Structure 1
Amino acid sequence: YCPPVILDFGGRRQLIVWHPRAVSSVDPDNGHKLWSVPFQVQAGLTIATPRQHGTRLFVSAFYNGPLMLDVAPDGSGAKVLWRGDSNSEIKTDGLHCLMSTPLFNGTHIYGVCSYGQLRCLDATTGERLWETTDATGSDRWWNAFLIPQGDRVFLHNEQGDLIAARLTPQGYEEHSRGKLLEPTRPVRRRMTIWSHPAFADGSVFARNDKEIVRVDLRQ
């Protein structure tokens, strides 16, 4: 599911492809493989976009959990810095993302795990620092999208709420919450919205299966 993404490592443009067997890098000019790190992902669930900070590259899979890579200074290769120990979406240790792309600021990682847990990881070790379901729910595939905005984060959860919060190593601090839309898609005995919102001109645009709305965030 994950689309290829162009990233820069050591001044070298690379096409990063996360597929069910590996995280690979391709020269976008000629298609030659630059490097590849094996990472076998169950059920082909490579969905969330890889996140870069400096020479590090982070991915997270629903069943197989997190993987942190370090790309060589000249961009010619990559090695594993750490990865999760669990290959179970139920007994998780780090961060097992499904659809939501995590945030990676260099020191910490924030993301939504397999059963809706919003989690913070230490980016150096992969250690889980905290988790909460205050912004989400606690069922399988429960989802919320994280969009950074200054020193805060917008969270758009699958119940149609738009939440403004601060995410820090100390925890989750909610500032405000508003309902944008009603969920319309049935998933596991609950109704959901799984479409990512868009932001432009001081507004948020969101949709369910019946309507699309624009909400002015400046009011």
Structure 2
Amino acid sequence: MMALRVFFTASVIGALLSCAKAENWPGWRGPRGDGTSLEKNVPVHWSTTSNVLWKIELPGSGHASPILWEDRVFIVTALSDTQDRVLLCLDRKNGETLWQKTVLTAPLEGKHRLNTFASSTPVTDGEMVYVAFLDKKEMLVAAYDFKGEQKWVVHPGSFASMHGFCSSPVLFKDKVILNGDHDGDGYIVALDRETGQTLWKTPRPNHTRSYCAPVIRELGGRTQMVLTGSKCVASYDPNNGKLHWIIDGPTEQFVASPVYSEKTGLIYITGGFPEHHILAIKPDGQGNVTKTHVAWHSMKGAAYVPSPIISGDYFLIVSDQGMGNCFDSSSGKILWQERFGDHHASLVSANGLVYFLSDDGVTRVVKPGAEFHLEAQNELGETCFASPAISNGQIFIRGDKHLFCFGGK
């Protein structure tokens, strides 16, 4: 009896510890906005017949990532036939649709052939879900509760781009923050979570489109929101939208989100068009720091669309054309390069491994290090542009037609 009690107690403690490490994936690039998961039990191997917990067909199309909060999965899609932009809530256990709400019905905007009409990943705080679409010539942002009831809808600013729309909202304190860089009077705007009221709206320079979500961190004794786009890299105070510092260029347009390394204390950005650059930036400046705060700079291995990732001492990135690169994050030295397929999904990590999802649905699981080491190669058999989501020991991948949930049985 004593042995059984000890075994039972140990099992309960183990289960509690496992649960304590589980994370929600509440928005673009996860709980920290940088693609990282702290979980250790995420699957490494899968296929269409192994480690697949469920697979459901999604209505319409979109490149937005799924987001996870406990037993709910939220995802947006566009129904071209009816011109509806839709928010779906799914049961995490089996993918069953719990509810489906039409957020917007409006003419479909012009866009790049690789964009969709539902590319902005929603975000949730566990009580509300916030979504963003383009309503003709204006950005539309709406809030829904977990029962599918719309709480508010606002149009915080104009938006025009020949490439279409994609602005994934991020949360900070009582605010929903969105990037409004476009081919006009660009802005970054903070809305009140409860009402949608504009709390602050900061003009952006250079009148140039970008599709980057900012990353927010405590850096140099102050809260910084770092955003690339509109021919610059800039840091703002997310409390009030005031500028901390700015770097000119290094190129015109950006899509990938920044990442931060606690080990080096540097912010890393990649872009873009027409030139491709990687910058490692010291975030302790004030004003224009173009000539003083770039720790290292590379024009090799840069990405335009896929966001990079930091893993320990390494900065990993994949170009749109499929060249995977691992840099020493301190020096910028390229440690290895490896040819993958074309990529548009951003990198994610868990288990000390980095997951590269290519456009043809192949996920290469790589162990970061000074030499290239491929842990697994998993084929889905479906085109994939959306970035994966990781939560509670499962990985969720949106394909062209289906949403897949992979995990241990």
Bin of the TM-score, shorter chain as denominator length: 0.7 to 0.9
Aligned ranges for residues 160-175 of structure 1 at < 5 Å?
160-171=361-372, 173-175=373-375
More strand by share: 1
Aligned-residue Cα RMSD (Å) equals: 2.2
Partner Cα separation in structure 2 for residue 214 and residue 122 of structure 1: 33
SS in 1 for 2:322: coil
8 Å CA contact 2:353, 2:366 repeated in 1: yes
Question: What amino acid does structure 2 have at the position aligned with 1:67?
Answer: L
Name the CA shift for 1:105/1:153 in 2 (closer, same or farther; >3 Å): closer
Name the CA shift for 1:124/1:199 in 2 (closer, same or farther; >3 Å): closer
Residue matched to 1:68:
280
Residue matched to 2:170:
none
Number of equivalences = 191
Partner Cα separation in structure 2 for residue 104 and residue 204 of structure 1: 19
Residue matched to 1:19:
229
Residue matched to 1:110:
316
The one of 152, 175, 178 equivalent to 2:353 is 152
> How far apart are residue 53 of structure 1 and its match?
1.4
Higher relative contact order (CA 8 A, sep 6+): 2
Partner Cα separation in structure 2 for residue 209 and residue 143 of structure 1: 13
The one of 256, 261, 267 equivalent to 1:48 is 256
Partner Cα separation in structure 1 for residue 302 and residue 363 of structure 2: 23
The TM-score with structure 2 as length reference comes to 0.43
Q: Sequence identity, in percent? A: 24
Of structures 1 and 2, the larger Rg is shown by: 2
Question: What amino acid does structure 2 have at the position aligned with 1:154?
Answer: Y
Give CA-to-partner distance per residue, 1:145-185, whole Å, 9 cap, x none.
Answer: 421112222222221123333121122x22223223412xx
Name the CA shift for 1:200/1:125 in 2 (closer, same or farther; >3 Å): closer
SS in 2 for 1:115: coil
Partner Cα separation in structure 1 for residue 346 and residue 393 of structure 2: 18
> How far apart are residue 18 of structure 1 and its match?
1.1
SS in 2 for 1:168: coil
Partner Cα separation in structure 2 for residue 101 and residue 203 of structure 1: 21
The TM-score with structure 1 as length reference comes to 0.77
Q: Structure 1: give runs of 5+ residues left out of the alignment.
A: 87-93, 184-192
Name the CA shift for 1:105/1:11 in 2 (closer, same or farther; >3 Å): farther
> How far apart are residue 76 of structure 1 and its match?
4.3
Aligned ranges for residues 105-144 of structure 1 at < 5 Å?
105=311, 107-133=313-339, 136-137=340-341, 142-143=343-344
Residue matched to 1:214:
405
Q: Structure 2: give runs of 5+ residues left out of the alignment.
A: 1-210
8 Å CA contact 1:7, 1:14 repeated in 2: yes
8 Å CA contact 1:181, 1:207 repeated in 2: no
Higher mean C-alpha deviation, range 21-30 or range 162-171: 162-171
